[in-house]
Amino acid sequence: MFSAAVIDHFKNPRNPGDILDANAVAEVTNPVCGDVLRLSVRTEDGRIIESRFKAQGCVTAIACSSYLTELLQGKTLDEAREITYQQISDGLGGLPPATMHGSQLAAEALRAVLAKLK
């Protein structure tokens, strides 16, 4: 059902935790399924130099959060604003339609954290 990339990010999440000196932190919740994602980023000279996450939820919520932190590494804020939930899904080999909410949650957290960096 899940791609090897989804399983890998779920079993071996990248960049879990918080950033103590984060420039922005945002927490979003999916009210339908109860998934929660807190995304922290640290920026320097208009680039994301570190991102971390804490998530409670399903396999795809955790996998997408983990993948997003890798995807953000070194991106400018403008480049980060272009990331979509579909790109997150595609980067993980595609999510089944019933689990696409994991990538939507990650994209929503990204939008929320970027809004705090304006």
Look at residue 31 in the predicted model and tell me its pLDDT: 86
> 67, exposed or middle or buried, with CB in 10 Å at 0-12, 13-18, 19+?
buried
**Whether residue 1 has pLDDT greater than 90:** no
Look at residue 33 in the predicted model and tell me its pLDDT: 87
Length of the chain: 118
User: Domain ranges in the chain?
Assistant: 4-115
pLDDT in tens, 26-81: 999 998 889 999 999 999 999 999 999 999 999 999 999 999 999 999 999 999 99
In DSSP terms, 101 is beta-bridged to: none
CATH class of the domain whose range is 4-115: alpha beta
**Whether residue 118 has pLDDT greater than 80:** no
Terminal CA-CA length for the chain: 39
